[in-house]
Amino acid sequence: MTKGFLYDGHLFYADLSLVSLESHYRLFTKDSYEEIVEPEDIFHAKSFRLILEDYIESLIDQDAELYDFFARGLSDPIRGLTSLTSLFSNVTRTNVIKDYPQYESVLSDGGLNFMRFVEGFLRFYLSRERFGFLKAGPGMDFDRLKLKLRTFRATLLHLFHKVETNVLEKPISVESELNVGFSCGLLVDDSPIRFEGNYAYLNDVLFVKDAYLALPYTTSTKKNKRIGVYQPSPTPLAKELDIDPSEFLCIPIYCGSSLVYFYFNVHNLNNVIGILNLFTKVPYTELEGKKPDIIVIFGGNKGESTGTYYYDGDGDFLVGYVSETEDADYFGYVKKLILTLHNTRMINQGYLPIHGSMMDIIMKSGKEVKIVIMGDSGAGKSESIEAFRKLAKEYLKDIKIIFDDMGTLFLTKDGVRASGTESGAFVRIDDLDIGYAFSHINDSIIYNADRTNARIVYHATPYDEVVTKWPVDIFLYANNYEKSEEGIRFPESWEEVATICEEGKRMAKGTTGEVGIVSSYFANPFGPVQNKEKTQELVKEYFATMAKDGTSLGIIYTQLGLENMSKIGPELAAKKLFEWINQSEEKQ
């Protein structure tokens, strides 16, 4: 697949075509660009022809009947269809036949097959990656970027409807506002920090200053699950990399309290784009001279790795590294490496990472309860949240999601407190009630919708709420592999609950390449597994403190891994938990 990249005072990147509006549009491929003064000039651009030729060649296998129709009437289908498309931007079908009789045979059906061709091409174009980058400068700010993006979208829509009108020779009474523009537009600027020594090569990488997402955005990656556990690297792979800085960008984000500089090869943007909906992007104005806590290099040219990391003592930051490999073309590799580094940093500071979700619920009685549910991938965290939502009308006045997948326990003077890492959610579509999933369609980035483990990324909670340190009233381990009529259980000793949590058992659902009953230390292969000895001491301290302070420690039986229980199990457990809370309140 042809990809284009150009830096010429303004930087843009896309799959096959890209447009900049400086004084005029510029469409270009890797080696050239063409000025676009009038909208119709798009049809003459080399980049447009490349996409069109790609589509026509795809018809040979995907719609042979349509291809054969044009092959019989045109000596050169690619050149003929390209010319026809251009002509119809200004000329009606009747006049095309009159002035260009060589096209009469392929338009004798009233242009119906040609409209099939145009509509198929539009779908083909919409399936391509479409990203735009603009270098900030005088007169080039975020508002200017948005104007360019909207103007380009309107121009393409105008051309499509003009061609349709000229081919069919009748007015259009219904128009669709398709997103034919860019999926994402980025305003980029110079690096606000200067590294010395081993990481000086990053100084010329441009930072994402502002981002514009055209949602919903649906895309596919080459992989649809993450495999393996990140391990520390014996060598500092990211030191002194020989990369072309013009092919990299950096997105600065907060993961919990950690400042992360995420550097990536722009060829990975289709995968990386989920960062903008999952984490909180740091305002560019806050970055001047600010040293990161974590650096990630995604798409490096040294070694072969889907993810490793090390601590850089000179820079006093953690460094994550992923090489340029198709094996890492899945958003889980982006998200989980960031979380592994953040969790390692938390453990080193004496805090306890929790692979789980947290909710703040208010019962019908008015009682407010903050609940943490812990468990590894597929244990039932998201499903429990969904069950809580479905039962809310019967049991709850309100429910607020504080964090969805990863959090941290802090030992404060007021006891154990919990906060989150991400302001968004990255969840399996098939874990959600269909109504709730559709309610987020308009604000989501959707990965691999046609495959197992399809995911959506959507904004869920304001960052300030995510990083607030909340008290914990109930702490539960999600057991998805044992049958239970009770739904919940609260052992008498905190040690039993801590042991169950440390065993980290679950019935794998195939979201990470595992099957059957598996275990990972403390149900968290993103930090605790790599730092087991330190985590063991923290578990004892934190669980003993929670028990002493009156936090209810127990197990919630989601039964998610059992046959025919994927929906019933979480709802049964949620119902039992709500009933237990009501009964506990009555006893007080």
Q: In this structure, is residue 448 part of a structural domain?
A: no
- Of 182, 210, 235, which residue constitutes the final position of a domain? 182
pLDDT digits (tens, 9 = 90+) for 470-506: 999 999 999 999 999 999 999 999 999 999 999 999 9
- Whether residue 250 is found in the same domain as residue 176: no
- Whether residue 316 is found in the same domain as residue 332: yes
DSSP category for residue 285:
G
- Whether residue 199 is found in the same domain as residue 270: yes
- Whether residue 158 is found in the same domain as residue 216: no
**Whole-angstrom Cα distance, residue 201 to residue 462?**
34
Q: Is 80 exceeded by the pLDDT of residue 439? A: no
Dump the DSSP string for 36-69.
E-SGGGGGGSHHHHHHHHHHHHHHHHH-HHHHHH
What is the domain count for the chain? Answer: 3
Q: Which band of pLDDT confidence, cut at 50, 70 and 90, is reported for residue 174?
A: confident
- Whether residue 153 is found in the same domain as residue 263: no
- Whether residue 330 is found in the same domain as residue 472: no
Looking at residues 424-446, what average pLDDT do you find?
78
- Whether residue 110 is found in the same domain as residue 64: yes
Q: In this structure, is residue 273 part of a structural domain?
A: yes
**Block residue for tokens 């790795």:** 305
Q: In this structure, is residue 452 part of a structural domain?
A: no
Q: In this structure, is residue 434 part of a structural domain?
A: no
Q: In this structure, is residue 167 part of a structural domain?
A: yes
Q: Is 80 exceeded by the pLDDT of residue 350? A: yes
Q: What percent of the chain has pLDDT over 70?
A: 90
pLDDT digits (tens, 9 = 90+) for 25-51: 333 333 444 455 566 777 776 667 778
- Whether residue 172 is found in the same domain as residue 117: yes
- Whether residue 159 is found in the same domain as residue 240: no
- In 3D space, the residue among 105, 117, 118 whose CA is nearest the CA of residue 75 turns out to be 105
Supply the pLDDT for residue 36: 56
Q: Which band of pLDDT confidence, cut at 50, 70 and 90, is reported for residue 588?
A: low
- Whether residue 90 is found in the same domain as residue 216: no
Q: In this structure, is residue 505 part of a structural domain?
A: yes
Residues near 174 by beta carbon (within 8 Å), at least 6 away in sequence: none
- Of 301, 322, 348, which residue constitutes the final position of a domain? 348
- Whether residue 375 is found in the same domain as residue 343: no
pTM over 0.85: yes
- The domain of 388 spans 352-423+460-587
- Of 167, 182, 197, which residue constitutes the final position of a domain? 182
Q: Is 60 exceeded by the pLDDT of residue 298? A: yes
CATH code where residue 528 lies: 3.90.228.20
Take residue 387 and report the two structure tokens written for it: 């069950």
Residues near 188 by beta carbon (within 8 Å), at least 6 away in sequence: 11, 133, 134, 135, 136, 206, 207, 208, 209, 249
Supply the pLDDT for residue 584: 87
Q: How far is CA 136 from the centre of its chain?
A: 25
Higher pLDDT, 309 or 242: 309
Higher pLDDT, 434 or 69: 69
Torsion of CA 421, 373, 451, 519, to 10 degrees: 100
Length of the chain, in residues:
588
User: What element of type H or E holds 401?
Assistant: strand 396-403
C-alpha distance from residue 326 to each of 73, 219, 472 (Å):
41, 15, 41
pLDDT digits (tens, 9 = 90+) for 503-558: 999 988 665 567 789 999 999 999 999 999 999 999 999 999 999 999 999 999 99
**Whole-angstrom Cα distance, residue 405 to residue 403?**
6
Q: In this structure, is residue 537 part of a structural domain?
A: yes
Q: Which residues pair with 513 in a beta bridge?
A: none
CB 151 within 8 A of CB 23: no
- Whether residue 331 is found in the same domain as residue 373: no
**Is 374 buried (19+), middle (13-18) or exposed (0-12) by CB count in 10 A?**
buried
Dump the DSSP string for 390-436.
HHHHHHEEEEEEEESSEEEEEEETTEEEEEES-SEEEEEGGGS-HHH
Supply the pLDDT for residue 457: 95
Q: In this structure, is residue 436 part of a structural domain?
A: no
Supply the pLDDT for residue 13: 34
